[in-house]
Amino acid sequence: MVFAPVTAVAAPLACTAFTGVPPFVYSDVSSATVGDTVLSCGGGTPGTPLSVTFDFVLSVPVLSAGTLSDGVNIYTGTLVGNSNVQYNDVSFDHPGASTLDFRQTGTVVDISAVNPSLLTPIEITESISDTANIPIATESDVVLFVVEQAPEPGSLVLFSLGAAMIAALRIKKRMD
């Protein structure tokens, strides 16, 4: 009986994007910082070097690009076009069985043209791609909610009383 050595096959390099709970902002401001995105990468042959460009494309214009960090290196984003933040020459070794996390933070967007309603917030989304064609799970996610300015407490009371009176009048009309 002959036994052949078993060779471990490394899982392919892949990343997953996590945004957490996106912040809420009121629409009466003209700009807002989007929530952080963590890009968690694992797999590949450990120690294999890679240099990649990550693109973060937002659904509204970007005012300030922010940074991308792996905890040791910090990459400054470059604004490409109106809504694309690019992090160039991000160098790292394939993490193998462990993970390597990149945190994208500090991106400021222009929300002056966004018009949410009181009941329907506007979702500001972000999609991520890269030049090395690394599979990225959750490539598009919500990074900010824009909601209509909340009414003043005093006007909310008046609104509630007015709505209650209208409802009462409609009920009375149905009974007549």
Tens digit of pLDDT for each residue in 57-91? Answer: 999 999 999 999 999 999 999 999 999 999 999 99
Instruction: List Cβ neighbours of 17 (8 Å cut-off, separation of 6 or more).
Output: 37, 38, 39, 40, 128, 136, 137, 138, 139, 141
Assigned domain for 26 exists: yes
Assigned domain for 166 exists: no
Confidence (pTM): 0.76
Assigned domain for 155 exists: no
Give residue 148's Cα distance to chain centre: 20
State how many domains the chain has. 1
Any idea what the CATH number is for the domain that residue 93 is in?
2.60.40
Assigned domain for 169 exists: no
d(Cα 31, Cα 14) in Å, to the nearest integer?
33
Assigned domain for 167 exists: no
Assigned domain for 165 exists: no
Instruction: Give 5-52 pLDDT, tens digit per residue.
Output: 544 556 899 999 988 888 888 888 899 999 999 999 999 999 999 999
Assigned domain for 1 exists: no
